[in-house]
Chains A and B, each alone.
Chain A
Amino acid sequence: MSTDPYVLRVNGGDHQVPDAYLGESLLWVLRERLGLPGSKNACEEGECGSCSVQVDGELVCSCLVLAAAAVGREITTIEGIAPGGGLADVQRAFVEAGAVQCGFCTPGLLMAVDTLLDDLPDDGSDPDDLTVREAISGNLCRCTGYGRILEAVSIAADIRRGGRT
C-alpha cells in the first residue's frame, strides 16, 4: 500500500516524500508530511475550496489531487505566494479590508483571488462583480458573508495594476 519515495516540487523547492500511503491526497501530504499546513481541510470532497493550491498555475483543490501523481508539477501553496519576507498584494488587501474573521477559508480564497488577478485581461479594466463572485464561488466562507472579501479583491486588483503600492 505504500508508495516508493517520491519528490514534490512545492513553492520552488523539492520535497522528499518517503514511504507514504498511496491514497494520500496532496492536501494531506502538504499538511502532515511537508510541514505546510496553510492549505486547509474543511471538507476533503472538493466542495469548499479551503485547500486550494495552484498546480502548474491552475487553481485546484489539493484534496482531490493524488499526491503521488503530482510529481513533476509546480505546486504553489499559500506559504509560497508572498515575495520574500513580506505579504503578497492579496494578503495585504485581505487584512486591510477586514476579509478575515476565523481565517479558515482565507488561504484557499487567497489562492483563488491570486489566480483571478493573474488572469486579468491586459486592458486595465477591473473584473466586474459577477466575474469576481464566480471566481470565488468555489470557496465557502462561513464568517464574512463575502462582503469584505469582495472589497479585498477590489483593493488587491488595484494594487496589482500598480494603482497603489
Chain B
Amino acid sequence: MTIARTVDDACAALAERPDALLLAGGTDLMVGVNRGQVRFDDVVVLDRVDELRGWRREGDELVLGAGLTYAEMVRGEIPTLVPALAQAARTVGSPQIRNAGTLGGNVATSSPAGDTLPVLTALDATIDLRSSQDTRQLPISRFVTGVKQNALEPGELIEAVRVPVLDGPQEFLKVGTRNAMVISVVSLALVVDRSGRNVRVGLGTVSPVPLRAVEAEAHVGGCIDWDTGSVPDTADVDRFAALVAGAARPIDDHRGTAAYRSHAVGVLARRALLRAFPGSAP
C-alpha cells in the first residue's frame, strides 16, 4: 500500500504495481470492498496528493484537480464560474459523501448515473491523464466508453479535469425519488455559450455513457434571440424538449422505467431552457 504525496509518487507506485487499486474518496470503491465484491492486495491512496487538490484558472479554462471534493465544488467561486458543476455536486449523496467523494472519482467510476458527467459532457471537458511515462488528454466523450468502463490504462491516473469558463447561464437538474441522498433517475445539464452562440446539453442516466443531445442543440441554437436572451417561439421550445427526449436511450431498471426517463428528460430540457432564457414564451 502506498499513501502517495505527489503525483509522481503515485505514478511510480502504479508503474511498479499496475494491479494496485486507486483510492481517492473511497465512496464507490469501499462499498464494493465492504460487500466482499472487491478484493485487493495493493492500493495507491491519492487523498494526500496536494497537486490533485484544489483548482486553478488558466485563461478561459478551469483546471479542476481530480481530488477536488463535491463539497469543494459547492464552495467559493466554482458556483459562479461553472454553476452547473456546483449544482450537480450538491445533489451527490449526503454531506458526508460530498466531503469525501471527488471529481476524479466520479469520472473514473464512469457510472451512467454519475452526477457530474452530464455537466462535463455538456462542457466538453477534457480529462488529463498521467502515468509515470506519459501524459495525455482525452475528451470526456472518449474517456467514458461504457457502463462503468473507461479509457484509463493500467498505470494511469486522472490528474485533472479541464472545463471552459463560459459566458452564459448553466442549469443542472436531476430527478430522484427522494429530496436528498438519491441516485439519479435521469439528469440533464444545459450550458449556454453566449460568445459561441450555442447551447450544449448533456444527459445522464439515459444511456450507457453520458450523452450530448446534439440534434436538440443544433435546433435550439438557431432559434435563440441572443439579444433578448429568449426563444421567441413556443414551438421551438417544444421541439427542443422533444429532440432531447428523442436522444435518450434509456433502459428500465429498479430506479425508473425507460418510458418515464424519456418523458422526464424532455421535461427537464424544457425547464432548463426556459430558466436559461427566461424571456421565452413558455
Taking CB atoms and an 8 Å cut-off, the chain A residues in 1-15 that contact chain B are 1, 3
Inter-chain CA distance A137–B176, complex, in Å, is 14
In whole Å, how far is A54's beta carbon from the nearest beta carbon of chain B?
10
Inter-chain CA distance A52–B41, complex, in Å, is 27
Is B159 part of the binding interface, using a Cβ–Cβ cutoff of 8 Å?
Answer: no
Partner of B95, one of A1, A44, A112: A112
Contact A61 B97 (CB under 8 A): yes
Inter-chain CA distance A23–B38, complex, in Å, is 9
B21 to A, closest residue via Cβ? A66
Contact A58 B34 (CB under 8 A): no
Taking CB atoms and an 8 Å cut-off, the chain B residues in 37-79 that contact chain A are 38-41, 43, 45, 47, 71
Partner of A44, one of B1, B34, B71: B34
Taking CB atoms and an 8 Å cut-off, the chain B residues in 1-38 that contact chain A are 1, 3, 23, 25-27, 30-31, 33-35, 38
Is A39 part of the binding interface, using a Cβ–Cβ cutoff of 8 Å?
Answer: no
Contact A65 B95 (CB under 8 A): no
A69 to B, closest residue via Cβ? B45
B26 contacts across to A, CB distance below 8 A: 64-66, 69
A107 contacts across to B, CB distance below 8 A: none
Q: Report how many residues on chain A are interfacial, defined by Cβ distance under 8 Å.
A: 28
Is A134 part of the binding interface, using a Cβ–Cβ cutoff of 8 Å?
Answer: yes
Contact A59 B3 (CB under 8 A): no
A1 to B, closest residue via Cβ? B41
**Residue among A44, A65, A66 with the most chain B CB within 10 A?**
A66
Contact B33 A59 (CB under 8 A): no
B47 contacts across to A, CB distance below 8 A: 69
Contact B95 A46 (CB under 8 A): no
Partner of A46, one of B35, B39, B96: B96
Inter-chain CA distance A133–B27, complex, in Å, is 22
Contact A65 B99 (CB under 8 A): no
The verdict on A134 contacting B43 (CB below 8 Å), with A44-B34, A61-B96 known, is no
Inter-chain CA distance A64–B45, complex, in Å, is 13
Contact B43 A66 (CB under 8 A): yes
Contact B30 A138 (CB under 8 A): no
Q: List 9 A-B contacts (CB under 8 A).
A: A3-B1, A22-B43, A23-B33, A23-B38, A47-B181, A64-B25, A66-B26, A134-B95, A137-B95
User: Which residues of A approach B to under 8 Å, CB–CB?
Assistant: 1, 3, 22-23, 25, 44-47, 49, 52, 58-61, 63-66, 68-69, 71, 112, 134-135, 137-139
- Given contact pairs A69-B26, A112-B95, a sample of 7 additional A-B residue pairs in the complex whose CB atoms are under 8 Å apart: A46-B96, A47-B181, A59-B99, A63-B34, A64-B26, A65-B100, A69-B45
User: Which residues of B approach A to under 8 Å, CB–CB?
Assistant: 1, 3, 23, 25-27, 30-31, 33-35, 38-41, 43, 45, 47, 71, 93-97, 99-100, 179-181
Top 4 nearest A-B pairs by Cβ distance? A138-B94, A137-B180, A64-B30, A69-B45
